[in-house]
């Protein structure tokens, strides 16, 4: 049993509020426990130069944490004049992850820009961003379909993300800040809701881990992925996935 009363393999409560911001084509507020992220998707006509004339679209992402999303105020990176390495790394991860959800050839020469703004951080901000961005992406695509800008949906995979770790030699799912800051191992899994891996990021913060622990973390992570997929579907009004 963990400090917050969860079992080792139990997710925090996930809440998704659709259309949280009225202006973007797709917008959600997603909460993983006390972690809260606003995910907005903007549809922009045109693509980067390397895609011009190809007929294909593009998906890109930007991520940031607001100054008082954590225990102490952090300065805005715009004021510093440069993005931090962590911010760039997470932005690229979100973009890669959501590109796995989209058939670019069906999107046409338009760009979907994902903005993930962390308003409260308690661990798992990058995983919450990815899972929330998938829902916001669907909302934006649905708007394009209703407007007749697209004939069919380019969404081909349902994308979710979750953290797994080792704390006190126990494999645990969906780490909050206190668990993450003390974990011996920190692993982030991005996968489709039916259990196919998109990306795994993992580091032994203290002691190296063996293949058995890695397999257990992946298995537990995929259990969390399935749960997230069901929450996403409920938010979108889609029947929950069958067990894979």
pLDDT tens, N- to C-terminus, the chain (244 residues): 898 999 999 999 999 999 999 999 999 999 999 999 999 999 999 999 999 999 999 999 999 999 889 888 988 877 677 778 888 999 999 999 999 999 999 999 999 999 999 999 999 999 999 999 999 999 999 999 999 999 999 999 999 999 999 999 999 999 999 999 999 999 999 999 999 999 999 999 888 999 999 999 999 999 999 999 999 999 999 744 333 2
Q: What is the pLDDT of residue 240?
A: 40
The distance of Cα 143 from the centroid of its chain, to the nearest Å, equals 21
CA atoms within 13 A on the CB side of 213: 20
Contact 128, 32 (CB under 8 A): yes
Spatial distance between the Cα atoms of 114 and 101, rounded to a whole number of angstroms: 13
What CATH number is associated with residue 143? Answer: 3.30.230.70
Domains identified in the chain, total number:
1
- Segments forming the whole domain that contains residue 201: 14-235
Q: What is the pLDDT of residue 3?
A: 87
Task: Answer whether residue 182 is part of any domain.
Answer: yes
Q: Where are the alpha helices (DSSP H) in 69-210?
A: 77-80, 85-99, 104-107, 125-147, 177-182
Task: Answer whether residue 6 is part of any domain.
Answer: no
Spatial distance between the Cα atoms of 125 and 131, rounded to a whole number of angstroms: 10
- Give, in order, the Cα–Cα distances in Å from 199 to each of 20, 131, 191: 28, 14, 7
Which residue is associated with the tokens 């998704």?
Answer: 16
Task: Answer whether residue 242 is part of any domain.
Answer: no
Task: Answer whether residue 243 is part of any domain.
Answer: no
Q: What is the pLDDT of residue 84?
A: 82
Helices and strands: H and E segment counts in the chain: 6, 9
Task: Answer whether residue 108 is part of any domain.
Answer: yes
Cβ-proximal residues to 108 (8 Å cutoff; 6+ apart), any chain: 55, 56, 57, 149, 150
Task: Answer whether residue 196 is part of any domain.
Answer: yes
Q: What is the pLDDT of residue 79?
A: 67
Task: Answer whether residue 241 is part of any domain.
Answer: no
Q: What is the pLDDT of residue 241?
A: 39
Task: Answer whether residue 8 is part of any domain.
Answer: no
């Amino acid at each position: 049993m963990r400090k917050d009363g969860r079992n080792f393999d139990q997710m925090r409560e996930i809440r998704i509020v659709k259309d949280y911001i009225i202006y973007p084509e797709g917008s959600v507020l997603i909460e993983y426990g006390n972690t809260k992220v606003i995910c907005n998707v903007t549809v922009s006509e045109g693509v980067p130069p390397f895609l011009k004339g190809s007929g294909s679209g593009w998906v890109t992402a930007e991520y940031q944490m607001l100054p008082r999303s954590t225990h102490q105020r952090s300065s805005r990176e715009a004021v510093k004049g440069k993005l931090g390495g962590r911010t760039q790394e997470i932005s690229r991860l979100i973009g890669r992850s959501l590109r796995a959800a989209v058939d670019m050839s069906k999107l046409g020469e338009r760009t979907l820009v994902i903005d993930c703004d962390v308003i409260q951080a308690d661990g798992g901000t990058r995983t919450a961003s990815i899972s929330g961005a998938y829902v916001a992406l669907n909302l934006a695509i649905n708007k394009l379909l209703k407007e007749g800008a697209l004939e069919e949906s380019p969404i081909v995979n349902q994308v979710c993300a979750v953290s797994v770790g080792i704390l006190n030699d126990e494999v645990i799912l969906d780490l909050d800040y206190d668990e993450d800051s003390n974990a011996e191992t920190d692993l982030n899994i991005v996968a489709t809701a039916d259990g196919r891996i998109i990306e795994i990021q993992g580091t032994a913060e203290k002691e190296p881990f063996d293949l058995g622990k890695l397999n257990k973390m992946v298995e537990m992570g995929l259990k969390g992925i399935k749960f997230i997929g069901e929450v996403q579907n409920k938010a979108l009004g889609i029947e929950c996935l069958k067990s894979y």
